[in-house]
Chain A
Amino acid sequence: MRPRLRFRLVGFLGAIGIIACRPERGQLPGTEPGAAAPAARAAEPAGAPQAPQDTVSAAPGPFARPLAAAREGLPVVGMAGPGGAPFLVSSRSAGDPAYLYRRMGGEAVGLALRSTTLRQYPCSSCHTSGVPPGNPEGAFRVHQDIPRSHPTAGESGCTNCHRSGAVDALSLFGGETASLDQAYRLCAQCHSGQAADWAGGAHGKRLEAWAGPRVVLNCTDCHDPHLPVTPRRNPYPGPRLPGARRGH
């Protein structure tokens, strides 16, 4: 009898405690999601010290901070982001792409699948007098690190994108050339669907910040242009879940 009564008493006091702890709904600010924040809060960021004006226009509102990626970014040519806004693309030939690594907790995380710099660039350091024509077999013997899968063997090959007269640049179909940092212009000639998704934000990867200047990775930051599939590797460890229960 006694322990049972005691149990009921504890339960009763617990219920009283919970009722006492529950704040009144009307008491709490911002109960309605989307409710306008108090004016005092809105005014707060204006008092924050302004970051020095960079070459890239500073972000509006509370994000007046220099973005590491924005300093390395280059304006995208011939495409516009959502709402027709211009955006930047990361520069692969900028040297050491330190901004492609981010420290999270105790670990430095690589942000792109390919984080190496170009090793044999510029090409003109060897190809001083152009490239001998019509010898793809010889080219692949010399450049053994270049996989031979894209474009496929049935297609015409190296000269789709590389031209003897302009070895340090990429050649577009119309006879125009694009720098290696404008690889998206070359890829977009065939992969127009992906290019539209890339410009809009559904394909590819934005760097660092959702606000402020939009800097995205170039096609070649993730895809090896000569072997554009995502590589296979072991994943990071998964969850430890009890017994046969899987997933939750």
Chain B
Amino acid sequence: MPHDPIAALEALCREAERALTRDVLGDPAEGPIMPREVGSGPVAGETGAASTALAKPMDRRRALGVLAGTLAAGAELVSACAPLSRATPQRQETKLLEWEERLKGHFRLMSDQEKSETIARLERLAQLRQGVDVRIATSDAIPGVMYGYAFNISRCKGYRNCVQACINENNLDRKTATQYIRIFEMEGQTIDLDRADATFQHEVPAEGHLYLGTQCFQCANPPCVEVCPVGATWQEPDGITVVDYDWCIGCRYCMAACPYWARRFNWSAPEVPADQVNPNQHYLGNRARKQGVVEKCTFCIQRSRQGLLPACVEACPTGARVFGNLLDPDSEIRWVLANKKVFRLKEDLGTEPRFWYFMD
């Protein structure tokens, strides 16, 4: 039998309609639940689906249930829309802003006006929630720039200064200790990540060990973007793969698709003490995330788009990290690619990471 998607969809719709009718109003196949005279036809002035539904035969108990359900849903809506009268003005404003935030669109489809409106709301919300004055940028990719990264395995000593700087810079959750960067300690003079340990906690550098750091590699062919069912993650023209935290539905397909375990999920809303919040933020970067969304390394988009180095590069005390513009032939990253033997992780997968490893 040939498969017809349209016919299948129509069948599904019919089934859904039948199910709805049966669930709410009783199965017509089972016959009327109550005598005809109880449901005495449409009430004057009622039109459309509601009147049709009410016109159907229905016992009192069921009718009360439907009514209670409707009232509860209405009350929920009202309480969400118009804050409780007992609440403080700050709480009311927060609720209102949160509600407006829920109704906004996809970041890439926003007009400049919509962008500035959501930025104003988010900045005000940060003030209301934590009393922090943040500045959220929406700066676009700089033309003629494609970011690339190189990591010197023989220089890294496992101090994890980069990890700490990343936590501070990107407002990562302190409660569950989210970290974008992993530093792997590898025994012997081999690069075997299967037997490497990222949880080492002893004096470093340990004798006879190599250290290799991973984070999001900003692949040129990112599988995480490919699988997102709602288009909440995409690759920017400068090569950075970003997430619209307000569009993400938290399905975590991207986490399953990433071969490098580069993405992190917020099982609860990230918590950052007010005095440790980094106020220099970007809409697609380190602004406050919420519960149930995925986040990732963005090469510190709030810094790199200002011409600054990412926090991990800046904080590395041994200079193991090189960052720059791949499209500039005179950049340091291009010099490393041209003069050093470089490799990438899992190159056979065809993800084309923009993150290379090299040794002295």
**Contact B201–A238 (Cβ < 8 Å):** yes
Asked if A145 lies at the interface with its beta carbon under 8 angstroms from chain B, I say no
Is B179 an interface position by the 8 A CB rule? yes
Specify which chain B residues have a CB less than 8 angstroms from the CB of A35 in the assembled complex.
237
Of A18, A29, A208, A247, which contacts B184 at CB under 8 A?
A247
Cβ-defined contact, B311 with A239, below 8 A: no
Within 8 A of A (CB), among B100-149: 106, 108-109, 140-143, 146
- Can you list, as one digit per residue, whether each of A198-213 has a CB less than 8 Å from chain B (1) or not (0)? 0011111111111110
B140: shortest Cβ distance to chain A, in Å?
5
- By the criterion CB–CB under 8 Å, are B330 and A200 in contact? no
Please judge, given known A-B contacts A30-B237, A210-B304, A230-B157, whether A238 and B198 are in contact too, CB under 8 Å. yes
Interface residues on A, range: 35 or more
Is there an interface contact between A33 and B235, defined as CB atoms closer than 8 Å? Answer: yes
Whether A208 contacts B314 in the complex (CB less than 8 A), given A6-B23, A247-B196, comes out as yes
Complex interface: chain B residues within 8 A of A208 (CB): 308-309, 314
Cβ of A143 within 8 Å of any chain B Cβ, yes or no, is no
Residues from chain A with Cβ under 8 Å of B184 in the complex: 247
Contacts of A104 in B (CB 8 A): 165, 168-169, 278, 311, 314-315
CA of A110 to CA of B314 in the docked complex: distance in angstroms?
A: 9
The verdict on B65 contacting chain A, using a C-beta distance below 8 Å, is: no
Which partner residue on chain B sits nearest A239 by CB separation?
A: B179
Q: A30-B141, A200-B335 are in contact. Are A238 and B200 (CB under 8 A)?
A: yes
Q: Find out whether the CB atom of B106 lies under 8 angstroms from the CB atom of A23.
A: yes
User: Which residues of the partner chain A approach B183 to less than 8 Å between Cβ atoms?
Assistant: 235, 238
- Give the residues from 140 to 187 in chain B that come closer than 8 angstroms, CB to CB, to chain A: 140-143, 146, 150, 152, 155, 157-161, 163-165, 167-169, 171, 176-177, 179, 182-184
Of A56-64, A121-129, A149-157, A161-169, which stretch is located at the interface? A56-64
Instruction: List 9 contacting pairs A-B, 8 Å CB cutoff, sorted by A.
Output: A22-B231, A27-B109, A31-B234, A34-B146, A59-B307, A106-B168, A113-B318, A209-B307, A235-B201
Beyond A28-B234, A210-B332: 11 further Cβ-contacts under 8 Å? Answer: A9-B20, A18-B230, A23-B231, A37-B141, A104-B311, A200-B335, A232-B204, A234-B202, A237-B201, A246-B196, A247-B197
Those 5 A-B pairs whose CB atoms lie nearest each other, nearest first: A201-B332, A105-B168, A83-B330, A106-B276, A205-B319
| Interface of A toward B, CB cutoff 8 Å | 2, 5-6, 8-9, 12-13, 18, 21-23, 27-31, 33-37, 41-42, 59, 61-63, 65, 81-83, 85, 102, 104-107, 109-113, 193-194, 197, 200-212, 214, 217, 222, 230, 232-241, 246-248
